[in-house]
Homo-oligomer: A and B are copies of this chain.
């Protein structure tokens, strides 16, 4: 009944007999508890978060719903292993476009081992983590012309500089062929995905407001997933729901720590930087549309 998730864009992937997450056809996501303490740590976070009455309801919706742990047949054939059972955040989408963005200007944190510190800071300096306060970890776009998914190459993604990250965020909401790297992304979906009262930007700003005061958790090395359905924008079937169904979800909590009365300034700073990137794209699209309109008005 369990299978390899189709829409995962970063992290351990359960294919070729490796250990990775699985999904069922009931909208559940099974994430194997990693052998070292990280799996236990993530389970503990979900237990704490789920029962924490200080987390406001409007914030809870940005986290996958947790259903405890369960022994299931592991993807690497090593027999039954404990898995976190979560709601599959892309369940219910036909052809979700997904991007994983790791937030923060560092992925290490106080009191880690020197080995872990060195490993993290090396990658943080090689990627845009230090310079931008976030790094794109992976993304896929549903190419409606080809009726198939296009995936960004992991090696290219991890080599992005500021311009590369900016381009990826534009490409993620564009309708022209993602496979052709010579095309300038047209940002056709930017307004509907990033903009609007229920769009990505509005959701990020709601999260930011919470992060300015919350001192419950420090979300080290966590990712923001951005999910939307581009087909539904093109088809415009119904008006009762936002067509793009753009969603922000926080994932990966193996390194979450107690906030101890201090805000998560590392996550917050990176989140603010990411928000500025999204705002800049929306502003450039707004400007272009204004120009288009004035051109039309001039009869050209």
Cβ of A289: which chain B residues have Cβ within 8 Å of it?
none
CA A269 – CA B272 in complex, angstroms?
8
CA A280 – CA B214 in complex, angstroms?
12
Q: How many of these chains are in the complex?
A: 2
Choose the segment among A93-101, A125-133, A151-159 that binds chain B (4+ C-beta atoms closer than 8 Å). Answer: A125-133
Pull 14 A–B residue pairs with CB atoms less than 8 Å apart, ordered by A: A105-B269, A109-B130, A110-B125, A110-B131, A132-B265, A133-B266, A212-B276, A263-B272, A266-B269, A268-B268, A268-B269, A269-B269, A269-B270, A269-B272
Given A105-B105, A106-B105, also A215-B265 (CB < 8 A): no
CA A262 – CA B165 in complex, angstroms?
11
CA A215 – CA B268 in complex, angstroms?
17
Additional 9 contacts, C-beta under 8 A, given A212-B272, A269-B272: A105-B106, A105-B265, A105-B266, A132-B262, A212-B276, A261-B280, A265-B272, A268-B272, A269-B269
- Measured as residues with beta carbon below 8 angstroms from the partner, the interface class of chain A is 20 to 34
A34 contacts B by Cβ under 8 Å: no
Partner of A273, one of B121, B133, B260, B263: B263
A167 contacts B by Cβ under 8 Å: no
- Asked if A276 and B263 sit within 8 Å, CB to CB, the answer is yes
Closest CB in chain B relative to A257 CB, distance in Å = 10
Cβ of A260: which chain B residues have Cβ within 8 Å of it?
162
- Asked if B125 and A265 sit within 8 Å, CB to CB, the answer is no
Name the residue on B nearest A215 (C-beta): B276
A213 contacts B by Cβ under 8 Å: yes
